[in-house]
Amino acid sequence: MKICLLSYRGNPYCGGQGVYLMYVARELVKLGHEVHAVVGPPYPFPMDGVTLHKIDNHNYFNIKKDYIKPDKPFATLHPLNFYEFAVSKMGIFPEIETFSIRAFQKLRELQKVHRFDIIHDNQCLGYGFLLIKLLGVPFVSTLHHPLSIDRSTWFEYPSDFRLKMKRVLYYPLVMQKIVTNRMDRIITVSRDSVRSINESFGTPVDNQRVVYNGLDASIFRPLKGVNKRKNSLIFVGNVEDRKKGIAYLLRALTLTRNRVHLTVVDGGAPNRNFVPRWIDRFGLNDRITFTGKISTERMVELYSEMEIALSPSLYESFGFPAAEAMACELPVIASTGGALPEVVGEHMKTAYVVPTRNPEAIAEGIDFLIDNPKIRRAMGKAARQRILETFTWENAAREMVKVYEEVIGAYR
């Protein structure tokens, strides 16, 4: 099968899109398919067996100055770039929309040579996809979760009118709703996401297929000979992402009987705004360490050094940090937000599950697991077993191919 993957950001270190692309492409190649990837910056590293087709952009939304490239000084006046520039300055996030139009231009050229059997996008869903549909190639998209959830959870936190206005403009919900309902099939990563997409975008459940994400359990594994730090907790995620529920975790730390220490693995100091203020307010300065950006190897080491991982998210379409911790045999205290219960499994068996927005329950869970090392260890082992059995990229790729065949079959 000739498969063309689309990803508006291709690099695995820039976020989930790049990680998804890397593993899906790798596994599809292993299954013997010809894989091409049309990618936006930051670009992925070269991948064995995958032909990369790069699409440029100017990233006007994030680059506030020096956005004029000295080697292309007039590029900003090109109509599509000028549109990207103008709407960026008005607070609208144009990257996915302009990527979709550029991807159409690129695919129109590529299609003359390669004749793809299927095109598979990863959560872009820009208006340009309506043009790509005109190419007559079966076209599916992975939608991890509707952005309306990001917007709602963002509104749960205190902010002012100006910030709220920026958030309303930022999320391209109308565009994604229109485009989602015109795709041949939507692939999503959990049953909870199917429900959310149906509720938010009205996409029929019949037009959605669940393909669980995978996890590389050869990388995320328990390390032997590493000593656990007493009463240590770990949280992995962007602390400024309101979905992650960090405020409830910080509050929980003030309620535990045991004096615990939390290590936070996040994107680094420039990305922190509210959280340092909340830490001051809760008087937790001596009980929290921020690592900033670290390598995957260091993260695996940290998982092995810690006693408990926490995932108190208000919503997760899948919940990679929880799954990674589980693969490292770490017991996870996870909330019932979104698909987390689907991923972490049964309460008290493979994880300790608490309701969302409930600091008391989180604190109770921390104390329970700290006080019961045997249960903690058994839970960690059961957690890794669950990951090995259910969440592998190989399974994901096989399921994806089934969806491709179904969609291609409907075209014939």
Least spacing, CB of residue 243 vs other proteins, in Å: 12
Least spacing, CB of residue 249 vs other proteins, in Å: 11
Please identify which residue in 169, 205, 223, 410 interacts with other proteins, judged by CB under 8 A. Answer: 169
Query: How far is Cα 3 from Cα 48, in angstroms, rounded to an integer?
Result: 15
User: Is 165 an interacting residue with respect to other proteins (CB under 8 A)?
Assistant: yes
Query: How far is Cα 39 from Cα 293, in angstroms, rounded to an integer?
Result: 24
Residue closer to other proteins (CB basis): 257 or 281: 281
Instruction: Decide if 264 contacts 290 (C-beta within 8 A).
Output: yes
Determine the straight-line distance between the first and last CA of the chain, rounded to whole angstroms.
15
- Within 263-282, the residues that bind other proteins by CB under 8 A are 274, 277-278, 281-282
User: Please, which residues have CB within 8 angstroms of residue 21's CB and are 6 or more apart in sequence?
Assistant: 5, 7, 10, 12, 37, 39, 44, 122
Query: How far is Cα 40 from Cα 147, in angstroms, rounded to an integer?
Result: 20
Please identify which residue in 48, 71, 206, 286 interacts with other proteins, judged by CB under 8 A. Answer: 71
Please identify which residue in 54, 168, 258, 259 interacts with other proteins, judged by CB under 8 A. Answer: 168
Residue closer to other proteins (CB basis): 280 or 394: 280
User: Is 59 an interacting residue with respect to other proteins (CB under 8 A)?
Assistant: no
Give the binding range for other proteins (CB under 8 A) out of 35-43, 77-85, 260-268, 337-345: 77-85
Residue closer to other proteins (CB basis): 82 or 411: 82
Sign of CA dihedral 382, 388, 390, 393: positive
User: Is 127 an interacting residue with respect to other proteins (CB under 8 A)?
Assistant: no
The site for other proteins, by CB under 8 A, has a size of 38
Least spacing, CB of residue 107 vs other proteins, in Å: 28
16: closest CA among 214, 201, 312? Answer: 214
Query: How far is Cα 133 from Cα 182, in angstroms, rounded to an integer?
Result: 9
User: Is 89 an interacting residue with respect to other proteins (CB under 8 A)?
Assistant: yes
Least spacing, CB of residue 73 vs other proteins, in Å: 4
Binding map of other proteins across residues 339-358, x = CB under 8 A, - = no contact: ------------------x-
Query: How far is Cα 1 from Cα 96, in angstroms, rounded to an integer?
Result: 27
12: closest CA among 2, 23, 1, 4? Answer: 23
Give the binding range for other proteins (CB under 8 A) out of 41-49, 150-158, 213-221, 295-303: 150-158
Q: Provide the residue type at 371 as one letter.
A: D
Please identify which residue in 112, 115, 134, 161 interacts with other proteins, judged by CB under 8 A. Answer: 161
Q: Provide the residue type at 292 as one letter.
A: G
Query: How far is Cα 248 from Cα 362, in angstroms, rounded to an integer?
Result: 8
Please identify which residue in 30, 31, 51, 76 interacts with other proteins, judged by CB under 8 A. Answer: 76
Query: How far is Cα 148 from Cα 338, in angstroms, rounded to an integer?
Result: 13
Query: How far is Cα 176 from Cα 196, in angstroms, rounded to an integer?
Result: 14
Least spacing, CB of residue 242 vs other proteins, in Å: 10
Query: How far is Cα 119 from Cα 113, in angstroms, rounded to an integer?
Result: 15
Least spacing, CB of residue 175 vs other proteins, in Å: 13
Least spacing, CB of residue 53 vs other proteins, in Å: 21
Place of tokens 């300055």: 89
Least spacing, CB of residue 317 vs other proteins, in Å: 18
User: Is 43 an interacting residue with respect to other proteins (CB under 8 A)?
Assistant: no
Place of tokens 């040579």: 113
User: Is 46 an interacting residue with respect to other proteins (CB under 8 A)?
Assistant: no
Please identify which residue in 15, 56, 108, 164 interacts with other proteins, judged by CB under 8 A. Answer: 164
Q: Which residues on neighbouring strands pair with residue 39, listed in sequence order?
A: 7, 54
User: Is 206 an interacting residue with respect to other proteins (CB under 8 A)?
Assistant: no
325: closest CA among 348, 343, 346? Answer: 343
Ramachandran sector of residue 125 (left: φ over 0; alpha: ψ -120 to 50; beta: rest)? left
Give the binding range for other proteins (CB under 8 A) out of 46-54, 67-75, 116-124, 334-342: 67-75
- Residues forming contacts to other proteins in the complex (CB under 8 A) are 65-68, 70-71, 73-74, 76-77, 82, 85-86, 89, 151-153, 155-161, 164-165, 168-169, 247-248, 251, 274, 277-278, 281-282, 357, 359
